[in-house]
Amino acid sequence: MSVQHTSRRSFLKVSAATGGGLMLGLSWLTSCESDKANKADPELQMPAEWVTVNAFLKIGDNGVVTIMSPNPEIGQNVKTSMPMIVAEELDVDWKNVIVEQAGLDTENYTRQLAGGSQSIRHGWEPLRKTGAMARYLLVAAAAQQLEVDASELRTENGVIYHDGSDRSLGYGEVASLAATLTPPEEVTLKDPADFKIIGHGKKNVDARKIVKGEPLYGLDVQREGMMYAAIVHPPAFGLKLKSVDDTEARSMPGIHDVVTIDARPEGVEQQWSDVNAFPQLVAVVGNNTWRVLQAKKALKIEWESDSAPESTAGHRSALEDLLNDGKAEEARRDGDPEAAFASAATVVERSYSAPFLPHNTMEPMNFFAHVTEDKAELVGPIQTPEFLRKTVSALLNMPEEKIDIMMTRMGGGFGRRLYGNFGVEAVLISKAAGGIPVKLVYSREDDMTQGTYRPEYLVRYRAGLDEDGKLIAFHVRGTGANESPVFANRFPAGTVDNYLAENLSIETNVSTGAWRAPRSNFIAGAEQAFLDEVAEAAGKDPIEFRLELFERAKTDPVGEDNDYDAERYAGVLELVRDKSGWNTNDDKRGVAAYYCHNSYVAQVLELEMKGSEPRVTEVHCAVDCGIVVNPEGALNQIQGGIIDGIGHALYGAVTFTDGKPDQQNFDTYRLIRHAEAPQSIHTHFVDNGIAPTGLGEPSLPPVIGALANAIYRASGERVYEQPFAKPRELKG
């Protein structure tokens, strides 16, 4: 808690001298054309001097507060919502807040990672304490200056008031003294009933810059002397580099170098995030993107077999054989499922499948790296900066403290940027090309054929009903590429006496990884479609059938490892039933409910059939994610997840011929169009005052089941295999 005074002029001098390297988190200062600190609020005046209170906070002498946002921003809006939490407890006027992206700093921040919809959940209490601690110190400093007891003071919008003497001090007036005081071990946090920032919609702090095209993203990074790089990897899974003739490419104008790299050399410890089907690459380095791309075409490369190439039909056949005859891992067993099925009056059995999916982020993979003998500077869109630094440290044999990583805003992640191979590649290319600054940029084809796909999945469900339509047995058996999609302890586990969950998986040379709401993005849709079919066999309304199961889980649950709260689960289902005006006789609606990432979501989806293709007209969505920090950003997350889930369930698929992806760009890979998105989405949040849980992913999984159920009710045809819509030619 040392005092650090920095004048505007001295900061600019330091920034100019260092190129902004160590102070990139405050790079907004170097580009100011006037005394306006934040172009999002033209009335906000830059302070002449500011004080560092802690790693999250800098307070200007005029009361302007800079709040550092520590986690990567991939569109989930944490760059706005995390500072809102700090500002709430600090009790500052949001209009006087500037938000800046922090770089990787494991000494002052924890879990600088974007994944699993956990940023707000894990940051909730630490961020509140950060703001509250700073407020405590400011009040203590004011008490000294005013010579009164701190208990006599109150704060409001960045001002400390002593009502007894009608005196007040702004935060900026006491910040220097506050930073010298010893913070207490514990602080009192606000009662949520007193929140003035949390729970009130705030615009994205980068919105104006995004609209104006100001530099925020990895693709925007520029450095003096920077070269551009492009990669070439094997055209098919199962191949590796044999030889390269780069004679013609080297002779082309503007080409600086052609290098080969190995991102997975023997003896180097790999991180979990180092998923990469093609670690051995050829890279072309030149003075602009166009010349580099042309030089790529001039390379003469030979490839050789590394493992057997796979095709979609053969891979699917292997999954089916494994599901039918493979020895499974028994993940959970309750009661005697075999005996219960043998005595059941009705048995319903169905199988569901989904293909490999790419992430297709709007901003393609890219990264800037400048590697010298004694340090490495990395800048780019990465969800896992800490793990990237560990890998780079091992590859360069360089201490981690010599590696500086700055996160940029990302044009989408969806799990793809958890795996930092593109950052590693930029580092190795910079080193191999002589230690020059390099920005690596993937083409769309590079990205879509590199792998790290959502795995292909296959699952089989069985349900046994007695003569009264009561569920007495349930069996789920799932397999997939490199992993099983089954969550053994999720609903309907705990609701039925006889239950069995089994896992299988098949190894593949097609690299796979997390894709928005991993595993849940498939199994939720399959489970919810199956439960509708079981409800129909039982002669019950789909919602009432589920609520009966939840009642069992609430009053007399089976087993002790059920990982959901049946009361909250049933609550969102009842809420969406009431808000949507659910009618079991409505032949255009489907329902689904699912729990993942610590949150509960239920949806009712309505659609129309346009020939053979469904068009979603309306979605009602009930969400229990605890306290909603920023309602405006929360709505964006819910709506985005719903549209994403509908689009990929209807159209998304990557197939393979002899190991080569058949879809390599948007001319062959089908995404949802604007006109195909739901005409309206109504979101209903549960207000329960519970600490926040995940939000970026939970709305996607259940909408796939709601969609499948609506298709059946509108067309009379059940769908078991994704994508649901029949392939058709793309137009326009």
* Domains located in the chain, CATH noted: 5-205 (3.30.365.10), 222-307+359-450 (3.30.365.10), 312-357+453-715 (3.30.365.10)
- Per DSSP, the residues of 158-191 read TEEEETTTTEEEEHHHHHHHHTTSPPPS--PPPP
Count the Cβ atoms, other than its own, within 10 Å of residue 418: 26
Q: Decide: 375 and 456 in contact? Cβ < 8 Å.
A: no
Distance (Å, whole) CA 160 – CA 162: 7
Q: Which amino acid is at 347?
A: V
Residues 720 and 661: beta-carbon distance below 8 Å:
no
The pLDDT-based confidence of 560 (bands split at 50, 70, 90) is confident
DSSP-derived 3-state class of residue 448: helix
Report CA-CA distances (Å) from 147 to 140, 175, 182, 186. 10, 16, 18, 24
- Distance, in Å, from the CA atom of 164 to the CA atom of 462, rounded to the nearest integer, reads 72
In tens, the pLDDT along 124-153 reads 999 999 999 999 999 999 999 999 999 999
- pLDDT of res. 35: 33
pTM comes to 0.92
- Give dist(CA 237, CA 539) in Å, integer: 48
Query: Cβ contacts of residue 566 below 8 Å, gap of 6+?
Result: 494, 550, 551, 553, 554, 557
Specify the pLDDT at position 727. Answer: 52
Q: What is the CA radius of gyration of the chain?
A: 28
Tell me, what's the pLDDT at 54?
84
pLDDT at 13 over 90: no
Q: Which amino acid is at 33?
A: E
Place of tokens 């100011």: 32
Q: State the pairing for strand pair 255-262/346-354.
A: unpaired
The residue-averaged pLDDT of 41-48 equals: 69
ω into residue 309 within 30 of 0, thus cis? no
Residue 467's contacts (CB-CB under 8 Å, 6 or more residues apart) are: 345
Q: Which amino acid is at 488?
A: A
Q: pLDDT tier at 731 (50, 70, 90 boundaries)? A: very low
Q: Which among 314, 319, 301, 178 is positioned nearest to 246, based on CA atoms? A: 301
User: Per-residue pLDDT tens for 405-453?
Assistant: 999 999 999 999 999 999 999 999 999 999 999 999 999 999 999 999 9
Rounded distance between C-alpha atoms, residue 621 and residue 604, angstroms: 7
Nearest-angstrom CA–CA distance, 427 and 396: 9
* pLDDT score for 32: 29
Higher per-residue pLDDT: 512 or 12 = 512
For 319-370, give the secondary structure using H, E and C.
Answer: HHHHHHHCCCEEEEEECCHHHHHHHCCEEEEEEEEECEECCCCCCCCEEEEE
> What pLDDT is attached to residue 7?
39
pLDDT for 43 equals: 56
CB 604 within 8 A of CB 580: yes
Q: How confident is the model at residue 289, as a pLDDT? A: 94
Q: Are 146 and 30 in contact (CB under 8 A)?
A: no
Please return the burial class of 688, using the count of CB atoms within 10 Å of its CB with bins 0-12, 13-18 and 19+: exposed
Q: What's the Cα-to-Cα distance from 678 to each of 76, 214, 644, 682, 705, rounded to whole Å?
A: 21, 31, 11, 10, 16
Burial 122-161 (b: 16+ CB within 10 A, else e): ebbeebbbbbbbbbbbbbbbbbeebeeeeeebebeebbbb
Q: Which helix (H) or strand (E) holds 316?
A: helix 312-325
Q: What is the average pLDDT across 614-635?
A: 97
Q: Which of 58, 81, 77, 59 is closest to 68 using CA atoms? A: 58
What is the reported pLDDT for 726? 67
* Rounded CA separation 512/505 (Å): 12
Query: What's the chain's average pLDDT?
Result: 92
Residue linked to tokens 């593109």: 422
- The whole-number average pLDDT for the span 661-677 is 96
Other CB atoms within 10 A of residue 730 CB:
13
Kind plus residue range of the DSSP H or E element containing 53: strand 49-54
Q: Are 617 and 610 in contact (CB under 8 A)?
A: no
Q: How far is Cα 73 from Cα 87, in angstroms, rounded to an integer?
A: 18
Phi/psi of residue 658, nearest 5 degrees = 50, 45
**Span 104-126, mean pLDDT?**
94
The angle subtended at Cα 149 by Cα 145 and Cα 152, nearest 5°, is: 105
Residue 697, classed as helix, strand or coil, is coil
Residue carrying structure tokens 């054989």: 321
User: Who's near 160: CB < 8 A, 6+ residues apart?
Assistant: 138, 139, 142, 153, 154, 168, 169, 170, 171, 174
Residue 362 has what pLDDT?
95
Those residues with Cβ within 8 angstroms of residue 677's Cβ, 6 or more apart along the chain or in another chain: 616, 643, 646, 647
CA pair distance 38, 58, nearest whole angstrom? 14
Concatenating the DSSP letter of every residue in 470-485 gives -EEEEEEEEEEBSS--
**Crossing angle of helices 520-538/631-651, nearest 10°?**
80
Residue whose token pair is 């289902």: 573
Query: Would you say 415 and 648 are in contact if contact means Cβ atoms under 8 Å apart?
Result: no
pLDDT in tens, 222-272: 999 999 999 999 999 999 999 999 999 999 999 999 999 999 999 999 999
Half-sphere exposure of 176 (CA within 13 A, CB side): 8
Residue 85 has pLDDT above 70, yes or no: yes
The pLDDT of residue 340 is: 98
Place of tokens 């994610």: 625
pLDDT tens string 51-70: 888 889 999 999 999 999 99
pLDDT at 38: 39
CA dihedral over 21, 38, 122, 138, signed as positive or negative = positive
pLDDT > 70: percent of the chain: 93
Length of the chain: 732
| List of residues 6+ apart from 296 with CB closer than 8 A | 230, 232, 249, 284
